[in-house]
Homo-oligomer: A and B are copies of this chain.
Amino acid sequence: MSMQEATELSYADCRSLLAGGELGRVAVSTPQGPRIIPLNYTLADDSIVFRTTPYSLLGTYARNTTLAFEVDDVDPATHRGWSVVAVGRATMVVDVDELSVIKAIWDPQPWVGGQRWMYFQLPWRELTGRRLRGSS
């Protein structure tokens, strides 16, 4: 059996891959344990920006707390691909000017319909990733 190899990605590569993605997954701690939520996102400067609703898990538990955020792209056939993980403290975007900038660059197309008017920003303090070379 050929073992697979992984190489650490540089910060620049991680940022570039993160910028090129569209769907990510957020991990949040709740009193009932960790939860994981897939959602679409964009970048604004060095923050991940995503939207949610006030009564969702994220709306309830993500404010002013540490989150982990993951994007990946792995080919199931070859096992080649990459994953990038960001960790940081999320805050709600409340500044009207900041919101205008975000809305100007990000035409909101939520994966799920609904009133997702809470914008979060997640400036990362860690950004790491790996490239998987596959097994073939």
Q: Is A69 close to B, CB under 8 A?
A: yes
A112 to B3, CA, bound (A): 7
Q: Is A36 close to B, CB under 8 A?
A: yes
In the complex, which range does the number of interface residues on chain A fall in?
35 or more
Evaluate whether A27 and B34 lie within 8 angstroms (CB atoms) in the complex, with A76-B22, A113-B3 already known. yes
Interface 9-residue window, one of A10-18, A43-51, A94-102, A103-111: A103-111
Q: Is A19 close to B, CB under 8 A?
A: no
Cβ of A1: which chain B residues have Cβ within 8 Å of it?
107-109
Bitwise, A58-92 to B at CB < 8 A (1) or not (0) is: 00000001111110101010010001010100000
Contact of A36 among B5, B32, B36 (CB under 8 A): B36
Q: Do B83 and A4 touch (CB < 8 A)?
A: no
Cβ of A4: which chain B residues have Cβ within 8 Å of it?
109-113
Q: Do A5 and B113 touch (CB < 8 A)?
A: yes
Q: List 9 A-B contacts (CB under 8 A).
A: A1-B107, A3-B110, A4-B109, A6-B111, A6-B112, A34-B68, A36-B85, A74-B111, A79-B109
12 other A-B residue contacts (CB within 8 Å) besides A4-B112, A6-B113 = A4-B110, A4-B113, A23-B74, A23-B76, A25-B70, A27-B36, A27-B68, A28-B34, A32-B66, A34-B68, A36-B68, A79-B109
